[in-house]
Structure formats: C-alpha cells, structure tokens
Amino acid sequence: MLLSIVIPAYNEEHLVVELLRKVVDLRLPEGVGKEIVIVDDGSSDGTRGRIEEFLSGMDSRQIRLLLHERNQGKGAAVRMGMAAATGEVMIIQDADLEYDPEDIPEVLGPIARGEAAVVYGSRILREKALGRSGICGLVTGKHPHSYVLAYLGGVTITRWINLLTGAKLTDEPTCYKCFHRSALEGIEIESNDFAWEPELTVKLLLRGIGIQEVPISYHPRLCREGKKINWKDGVRALWAAARFRLAGVAKGMRTED
C-alpha cells in the first residue's frame, strides 16, 4: 500500500522545514510506502525557497513540490495535491506544527486494516480522554490553549453537518482527513478556500460513506504565530455545508444510517 501525504503550504517559512523533516522521517507500518506531495500555494514569504533548499538532492520519486504562482486558497492547493498523488490512500497534513505527523499511522490504521474507507483524526476525542481542561475538558473536549471562538466555531460546524446529514462526527474541521482512493471516485472539490472541508465531508456522507474518527494530538498556535483561519472562514464553512447538502437533495442523494 502506498500512502500519499498531501501538504498544502502558504507562508510557513519558519515551520515548514521542521514539519517536512518529521514527515520524511516518519515510520509507517510494515508494507506501507510513503509519497509526499507538497503544494506551495503562492507563498509571499520565503516558504518556497526553504522547501526547495530542503528538497535539493532528495529522491524526487518520494517527495515532490508543486507550485501555485499566486495564492488560490487551501482547497485549491489540496485539489492540486490530491490530483497529483498516486497512492491508494491519501492524507492531508498542514505545513505548520499544530498536528503531529506521529499521529498519521493511527489515522491510517482503520483504512490499512480494511475497517473504513475514510478516517478523520479527532482533537475532541483526545482532549476528552485527557481532560486537561478539568471537568470542562472532559465534557467538551476543548484544548486548554485553543482560542474559545476557534473551538466554538469547530463545534458549531461539526454539529451543523451532523444535523444536515445525520452523522455523529466530533471534529469535522480537523486537518487529518484520510481517504482510500475508492471513496473519492467521482467526487470533485469545488471550493478553493477552507470550505473544501465541509464540502467534501457532506459529499462523502451523502454517498453513504461512513467516516470513522480516531483521537489525535493538537498543538494550537496563536494568530501572531501565523494561524490563518478566522470567523469569516467559519461562516463560509456553514454556508458550504448547507449549499452542498441542498445540491445533494436536488440530485436525489441521501445519507444512510
């Protein structure tokens, strides 16, 4: 089995090399190969140069860099990376260090074992288990260092998608989304921004494709450290979920219990 790790990157010059080292050094289960596809989404800082310097002399068959000459959005970068990926399984990895690549084998596990076609890594499940925010953390799953509004936005999007589709997800906006190629056949990502996530989630659920969740670690960063998503992205995500759910109804699609 070949796993394609798709890394959309935009203005992450201070963290992208450390992240790439972790991904390159990552050990996967026996019998699983690794392909790394990086998409620089028109970065305006030194991200592209740092990546190119890191890749010099490396095997281009294992790790490739694709370029957007101008910034088009995370959805557009993910779409390009997934189109170029050749693995039977694909996973999304952000170019910062909020998500630890050491969790990738855990997210891949259910697909590798044939138990699921799509797996999401849930920050909520991990925090509920750890309870680092006391009783509040045990109940809500909020990371003690995450922004309250960011946490509430993620919960709102997740519950909205659950309401629209009948799913029981705990953490829809998670970075770690892992797919067997067969689950994505015939599905096109239309959104160029962060709304690609609820769009794809709704499209999968409308096809009756179940999404399994596994606990993952999370290291939230501050806006001054480069965090890019904001409340406007949350509003777009809510609208995208509703829009693609309505589009599914118009096509006669429905979710399965």
User: How far, in Å, CA of 136 to CA of 214, rounded?
Assistant: 21
pLDDT for 141: 52
Domains of the chain, residue spans: 1-97, 98-257
- Tell me if residue 65 falls in helix, strand or coil: strand
Output phi, psi for 65, to 5 deg: -115, 125
Q: What was the pLDDT predicted at 233?
A: 73
pTM, whole model, 2 decimals? 0.86
Q: Which of 136, 117, 118 is nearest to 127 (CA)?
A: 136
Give pLDDT, residue 4: 98
Could you give the strand order of the β-sheet that contains 212-215, starting from the edge strand earlier in sequence?
A: 63-68, 33-41, 2-9, 89-92, 177-180, 118-122, 212-215
Amino acid 136: pLDDT: 47
What single letter denotes the amino acid at residue 195?
A
At residue 257, the pLDDT reads 42
Query: Which residues on neighbouring strands pair with residue 6, listed in sequence order?
Result: 37, 92
pLDDT digit string (tens) for the chain, length 257 residues: 999 999 999 999 999 999 999 999 999 999 999 999 999 999 999 999 999 999 987 776 789 999 999 999 999 999 999 999 999 999 999 998 999 999 999 999 999 999 999 999 999 888 776 655 544 444 455 555 564 666 777 889 999 999 999 999 999 999 999 999 999 999 999 999 989 999 999 999 999 999 999 999 888 655 555 555 665 777 888 888 899 898 875 565 555 44
Task: Give the pLDDT of residue 135.
Answer: 46
pLDDT at 179: 97
Record: fold of 1-97: Spore Coat Polysaccharide Biosynthesis Protein SpsA; Chain A (3.90.550)
Q: CB neighbours (10 Å) of residue 26?
A: 18
